[in-house]
């Protein structure tokens, strides 16, 4: 029988033709959504194990009432989402008005619901992570609530599935919160869990570098400022590296996929005394292509099934791009706060099963590295993230600056990847050009996750020659650069970009190629017409606040 997730037609065919069941199981499928379509996948997946599965579904929206009033005397599978703990988190009921003393009120709702669940000791519980609507004007409150739900879910021993299974579109249209394309994957995981079919241990962990394997940004902070030591901001990265080192000793393969320059990555490992070194990784992919494309080619190169792969990254955008492009892969976001590290390590560790460590396990990385692996050829486009980017509620604040230019000059001087020419400036030099009629325009980005600070800088002289244009790599793939330049044209037009190719500015070169036909032309004069067609599709992603401080 095929081990891959079933399609809808395959599920119907199995149920139509399968008759030799070895046993019957009756399950009360306790969930608050609409699961009649998913029921077909669940029954077919059980049939692959010769089980005739009879599912009794609850009426839509009746889970809480059922759990309070119904005594359990049968097999029960409970599927939970964040709004089952706090009803006002449900997208289908709209956005609630913030309440006074809101955090305590919401925490009490969580604890009351956990008390209800704790009475159903033999039920199997699955928790599906999902994004929630704005619940509070205080972002920290929102984070604390989700963290507490996840902590309580871990305490009751629930099986956790991660948020790429959730589809707001499908939930609003049909009442089923599970992405339709993933019904087969979802059903397989649930049936494997319920029937205690042991899923195979994962075989490969693919990790990001910046703010994941180490604290800091290689392309901006430089090698000397990277930190993964057992102190300060490097501590959680130190713990993560020790965990990966342990997995490698157990025979799990490690790989790197990062948007960085490969020579700098290798220098980082050579120059820093990290727990992990470059030889601990079977492959290191460092370029600026979409990570989903890199991962697909990497997994193909290693001849490992996608279902055996875990991807770890601190960026919610990279997690979204990979999880949507390759739903078979487990994607885990690396935590920003030490308080979330326990949950993260628990998730990561849950994907591995070790009974004993053999010599082959210990040497597996070296064995793979000795293999003659095919070359990785990356082509194509990544997943279109526009709908996801829209959900981040991004605001771009644009400033025309005459004073307080220190951060702008710092960003110009430390940015390599998205830098129009690599030129560095002293504060006194920049101030002289400004006194002669030059301009510095900066962009500050905010979204539902916080404020990223000044991340875009355009510096030009009185003749509107753009002497520097840089963007922090922390906001790559958000399309802010197009919107930023479009708004610059509200006051300044026909900007002459003083472009120079450098060893490090490939992302900037790719940006220019979206506007100009070639990088071999002599004059990069940017006109409003160059940007209008491109930026039009990105303008709706941002609220723009243009502040003329002249």
Instruction: Using the predicted structure, report yes or no on whether residue 385 has a pLDDT greater than 50.
Output: yes
**pLDDT at position 122 over 70:** yes
DSSP conformational letter for 461? -
Task: With a cut of 90, say whether residue 539 has pLDDT above it.
Answer: no
Instruction: List beta partners, residue 458.
Output: 441, 469
What length does the chain have?
A: 550
Q: In the numeric block, which tokens belong to residue 467?
A: 């002497």
pLDDT band at 334 (very low <50, low <70, confident <90, very high): very high
Cα 229 to chain centroid distance, Å, stands at 25
What are the residues whose beta carbons fall under 8 Å from the beta carbon of 19, sequence distance 6 or more? none
Mean pLDDT of all residues in 137-154? 81
Alpha helices of 175-258 — where are they, by DSSP H?
Answer: 183-194, 218-221, 235-249
pLDDT at 367: 82
Please say if the pLDDT value at position 372 is more than 70: no
Does residue 78 have a pLDDT over 60? yes
Distance separating alpha carbons of residues 208 and 312, to the nearest angstrom: 6
Higher per-residue pLDDT: 28 or 3: 28
Residue 72, pLDDT score: 67
Confidence of residue 100 (pLDDT cuts 50, 70, 90): low
Q: How far is CA 134 from CA 137, 146, 391, 392, in A?
A: 8, 12, 11, 11
- CATH topology match: 8-194 vs 393-548: no
Closest among 175, 365, 170, 209 to 281, alpha carbons compared: 365
Q: Is the pTM of this model over 0.75?
A: no
Rounded Cα gap, residues 491 and 127, in angstroms: 51
Whether 157 has a pLDDT exceeding 90, the answer reads no
More confident: 233 or 18: 233
Once rounded to an integer, what is the mean pLDDT over residues 452-464?
A: 93
C-alpha atoms less than 13 angstroms from C-alpha of 106 in its C-beta half-sphere:
25
The C-alpha atoms of residue 259 and residue 269 are separated, in whole angstroms, by: 16
Residue 174: pLDDT above 90?
A: yes
The DSSP symbol for 405 reads -
| Amino acid 426: pLDDT | 94
What is the C-alpha separation between 241 and 252, in angstroms, rounded?
14
* Structure-block tokens of residue 148: 């507490």
d(CA 227, CA 233): 7
Domain ranges for the chain: 8-194, 204-383, 393-548
**For the domain with range 393-548, which CATH number is right: 3.40.630, 3.10.100, 1.10.150, 3.20.20?**
3.40.630
Q: Strand runs (DSSP E) across 23-71, as ranges?
A: 23-30, 51-57
Is pLDDT at 198 greater than 60 in this prediction?
no
Ordered alpha helix ranges (H), 25-76: 36-47, 63-69
Of residues 549 and 15, more confidence is placed in 15
pLDDT at residue 377, as a whole number: 60
pLDDT digits (tens, 9 = 90+) for 478-527: 999 999 988 887 777 778 899 999 999 999 999 998 888 888 877 788 77
Token pair recorded at residue 39: 């029921």
- What is the residue-wise DSSP string for 480-537? HHHHHHHHHTTT--SEEE-----SS-HHHHHHHHTTSS-S--S-EEE-HHHHHHHHHH
β-strands 465-471, 495-497: how paired? parallel
Rounded average pLDDT over 348-361: 74
CA 187/CA 40 separation, integer angstroms? 9
Does position 312 have pLDDT exceeding 90, yes or no? yes
Domain 8-194 sits in CATH at: 3.40.50.1110
3-state helix, strand, coil in the chain (%, to 5): 45, 20, 35
Is residue 27 within 8 A of residue 56, CB to CB? The reply is yes
Contact 252, 205 (CB under 8 A): yes
Closest CA to 133 of 180, 160, 97, 182: 97
Angle separating helix axes 102-118 and 139-155, nearest 10 degrees: 10
pLDDT higher for 490 or 385? 385
At 130, list the tokens: 């999902």
- Residue among 445, 397, 399 nearest 549 (CA): 399
Four-residue CA torsion sign, 399, 405, 407, 408:
positive
| One-letter-per-residue 3-state SS of 327-381 | CCCEEEECCCCHHHHHHHHHHHHCCCCCCCCCHHHHCHHHHHHHCCCCCCCCCCC
Place of tokens 């948020």: 163
pLDDT of 2 strictly over 60: no
Alpha-carbon distance 395 to 393, whole Å?
A: 7
The confidence band for 354, taking pLDDT boundaries of 50, 70 and 90, is: low
Specify whether the CB–CB gap between 357 and 251 falls below 8 A. Answer: yes
Residues above pLDDT 90, as percent of the chain: 51
3-state secondary structure of 35: coil
> What does residue 27 show for φ and ψ, rounded to 5 degrees?
-130, 135
What value does the mean pLDDT of the chain take?
A: 87
Helices 316-325, 291-302: inter-axial angle, 10-degree rounding? 50
Pick the range with the lowest mean pLDDT from 125-139, 206-220, 242-256.
125-139
Q: Which whole number is the average pLDDT over 26-44? A: 93
Q: Which CATH superfamily is domain 204-383 in?
A: HAD superfamily/HAD-like (3.40.50.1000)
């Amino acid at each position: 029988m095929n081990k891959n997730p079933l399609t809808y037609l395959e599920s119907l065919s199995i149920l139509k033709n399968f008759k030799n069941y070895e046993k019957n199981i009756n399950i009360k499928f306790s969930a608050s959504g609409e699961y009649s379509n998913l029921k077909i996948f669940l029954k077919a997946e059980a049939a692959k194990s010769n089980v005739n599965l009879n599912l009794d579904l609850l009426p839509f929206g009746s889970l809480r009432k059922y759990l309070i009033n119904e005594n359990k005397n049968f097999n029960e599978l409970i599927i939970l989402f964040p709004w089952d703990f706090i009803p006002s988190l449900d997208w289908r009921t709209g956005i609630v008005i913030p309440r006074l003393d809101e955090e305590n009120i919401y925490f009490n709702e969580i604890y009351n619901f956990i008390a209800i669940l704790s009475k159903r000791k033999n039920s199997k519980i699955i928790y599906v992570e999902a994004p929630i609507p704005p619940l509070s004007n205080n972002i920290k409150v929102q984070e604390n609530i989700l963290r507490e739900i996840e902590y309580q879910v871990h305490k009751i021993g629930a099986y956790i599935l991660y948020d790429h299974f959730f589809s707001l579109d499908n939930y609003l249209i049909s009442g089923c919160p599970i992405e339709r394309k993933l019904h087969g994957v979802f059903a397989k995981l649930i049936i494997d869990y319920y029937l205690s079919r042991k899923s195979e241990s994962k075989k490969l962990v693919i990790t990001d570098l910046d703010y994941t394997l180490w604290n800091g940004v290689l392309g901006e902070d430089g090698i000397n400022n990277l930190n993964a030591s057992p102190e300060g901001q490097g501590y959680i990265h130190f713990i993560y590296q020790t965990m990966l080192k342990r997995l490698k000793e157990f025979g799990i393969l490690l790989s790197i996929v990062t948007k960085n320059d490969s020579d700098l990555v290798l220098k980082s490992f050579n120059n820093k005394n990290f727990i992990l070194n470059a030889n601990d990784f079977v492959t290191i992919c460092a370029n600026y292509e979409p990570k989903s494309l890199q991962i697909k080619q990497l997994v193909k190169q290693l001849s490992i099934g996608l279902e055996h792969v875990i991807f770890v990254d601190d960026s919610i955008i990279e997690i979204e791009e990979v999880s949507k492009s390759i739903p078979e892969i487990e994607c885990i976001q690396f935590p920003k706060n030490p308080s979330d590290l326990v949950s993260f390590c628990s998730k990561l560790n849950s994907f591995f099963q070790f009974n004993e460590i053999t010599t082959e396990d210990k040497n597996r990385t070296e064995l793979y590295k000795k293999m003659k692996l095919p070359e990785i050829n990356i082509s194509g486009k990544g997943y279109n993230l526009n709908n996801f980017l829209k959900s981040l509620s991004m605001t771009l604040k644009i400033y025309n600056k005459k004073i307080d230019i220190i951060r702008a000059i710092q960003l110009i001087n430390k940015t390599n990847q998205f830098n129009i020419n690599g030129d560095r400036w002293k504060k006194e030099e920049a101030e002289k050009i400004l006194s002669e009629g030059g301009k510095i325009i900066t962009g500050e980005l905010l979204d539902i996750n916080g404020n990223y600070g000044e991340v875009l800088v355009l510096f030009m002289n009185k003749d509107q020659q753009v002497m520097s244009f840089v963007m922090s790599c922390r906001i790559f793939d958000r399309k802010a650069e197009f919107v930023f330049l479009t708004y610059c044209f509200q006051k300044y037009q026909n900007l002459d970009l003083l472009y120079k190719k450098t060893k490090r500015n490939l992302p900037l070169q790719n940006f220019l190629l979206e506007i100009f036909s070639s990088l071999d032309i002599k004059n990069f004069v940017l006109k409003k017409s160059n940007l209008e067609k491109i930026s039009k599709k990105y303008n709706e992603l941002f609220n723009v606040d243009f502040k003329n401080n002249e």
